[in-house]
Structure 1
Amino acid sequence: ITCGPPPAVLYGKVEGSDYRWGASVSYSCAEGYQLSNTAILSCEGRGVWRGDIPQCLPVFCGDPGTPAEGRLNGKSFTYRSEVSFQCRPPFILIGSSRRFCQADGTWSGIQPTCIDPAHNTCTDPGTPHFGIQNSSRGYEVGSTVYFRCRKGYHIQGSTTRSCLANLTWSGIQSECIPHACRQPETPAHVDVKAIDLPTLGYTLVYTCQPGFFLAGGSEHRTCKPDMKWTGKSPICKIPSDVFFINSLWKGFYEYLGKRQPATLTVDWFNTTSSKVNATFIEASNIQLKLSGIYKKEEAHLLLKVFQIKGPSEIFVSKLENDNWALDGYVSSGLERGVFTYQGDIHGKDFGKFMLQRQ
């Protein structure tokens, strides 16, 4: 006795090819779908399949959340669904304006926030007890604050924190813990944890902050009986492939005190020389061809104009005379792979700019 082909399931596939009496088959689902029940069908009786036939249901991503001072458009949160976000004026949206429910049950892009364009500073991140905070650039977006501890104390938490575009701080709160071993040098862009290991003793464990990788030094250092540390101070750097051909950066620039939308497309990048060629398109559709060298060590990029195309001849000649350039630094956000290029524009009547890699 044999059974015919098992019942078809939409977005499903039969696992097993033996349709003889006593044999069993199961089902699997296409990417982005999951089984309603783990069904096994058996060929029984006079050649019929017995068992509960499953369904392949789309993966559920959950509610992505509505930003404060914003609106969420879209009510379906399952695989291939799309939602969009808007901010109520005068707030502007930072992050992804559209997000898609992906096959792995996560939303694409970055959760957006609505920020007031009149405010571009974070609140004071605080100074740990027995610690020192160094904030030479203040708390404006893109600035980095450094923390260290007084003699006889070790830092735990983030050694540096950056003011992100959504006006929150990267990293975690730092604290200063007393210990006999003298404080080792405090590297930038590192999170520190301390554990007392039975065989090794007091050990500091270092991890690079999101968007950075360990380029040298030690992941953990142990306090020796002579009060010196094993290993070397870790070095965390932003990857060199932040800029790559056809990568798109979106954001804004300031002109006459007002924020205007802008995009930057990387036309060419040389990994050896770190030379970047890019096209900057501003609000009135003027295209500026830019070029510069990305200094990986400082995460600094100065992009100078070498060609201008646009509808307004007066504006074009003004830009040419001003030696217009984007002068900024690359920083990373809370999520891996989220990079922000921001700084000041060289040119009369222009202010700051901020662009986020899409």
Structure 2
Amino acid sequence: MQWFGPKIKCSPVQCDTPDNPENGKVIYTTKSYNSVVTYECDYGFMIVGSSTRRCGADKKWTGDKPKCKEINCGIPGILYNGWIEGSKTNLYAVIKFRCFDGMTFDGKSEKAVCRFNGTWSEPLPQCYGSFIMHEFLVLLPSLLTIFFSLRQTNMTRDTIIVVIKEINCGSPGHLPNGWLENVDKGTSLADSIIFRCLPNMTLEGDDTSVCQSDGTWSKPLPKCLAPCIVPTIEHGVVNNTKPREKVLHGFQLNVTCDDTFELAFGSVPPTCFNGTWSRYPRCKPARCKELPERPRHGIVIVPKSDHGMKARYRCKDGYKLEGPERTECRFGNWTGEKPICKEVYCPFPGTVPYGRVLLVGNMGMYDYRDYVQKVKNNRQIRYKCDRGFYLVDGPPGATCVA
């Protein structure tokens, strides 16, 4: 008696040793499945991304390794009618806000500190004086901001202060497999550009974009996705196009395989995605969809039912296999004839001088004679000596093992 089938070995999942991020470190105790590692940054740096990752069943750490970015609050902005003291903008750097003479400081604090989250502790204040507002209209399509037109009472007569900045969205970027139209006409406020793709390319996104008042384009850069070449399929045919034809991005193939063959990818159709097929269409020899018919009083062991795989027949105890011991899956069908399991019997064990052989039955024991046939598996016999004799050697009985 033995087990039939592949040997299985289970090993514990172990992820690779995680690397320390630049300007930081990784902390962990184990690398086994479901373990968690924690990332920390050096002083003056802040973590960008998730600070923890977990070891998955695929032996990989979840997510991407975070980065340690130097904490820098940057320039807080322009302080009109004043200036900012201090040139450093890293962690705990201190800047001071100053107003020109004659201007009034309007803010929460005259200084700000760069914090751990990369922002200044205080917002940018304002410096202002006594003004008389004037109506002022500017008809320029490329102006981003008009703060105000004013006349200051303590300045010379009719002094006008106007702060303006031109709106220009700039180039939206490079469009692979395509080009941009109207860029030469300008990229200022209200200018528009048109996105074009090369022949046989599929445009994914909007085909036009307009420069907005905030200096950004109204629509992002689209994509020009490449076509796919229809392959020639051995033992099969494509129903909805021809081999070597170009089909657009998103096209799905309808494939039919020859008899005794089947699609290798199941029922999901191959789809063209930017020049490549999501699944390469292939027809493989068909699997056996049903198990081999088992013989009566027997079993069939089938590890796999793919083409070329083999199954094994076995009979129950007390039966002997007559016919092929194995069958093979060939193009969707099991080969050979089904064997039979024929019942086997134990022969008459012979006589015992000065004793008897007794056959154990349901109602007791009786003399076992040579004319008694078809003694089945697991039947038992007992030896009994005549009066005046005793059993010298050997067991007191036996079991039929067919």
TM-score tier after normalising by the smaller chain length? under 0.3
The structure, 1 or 2, with the larger RCO (C-alpha pairs under 8 Å, 6+ apart) is: 1
Larger Cα Rg: Structure 1 or Structure 2?
Answer: 2
Richer in strand (by share)? 1
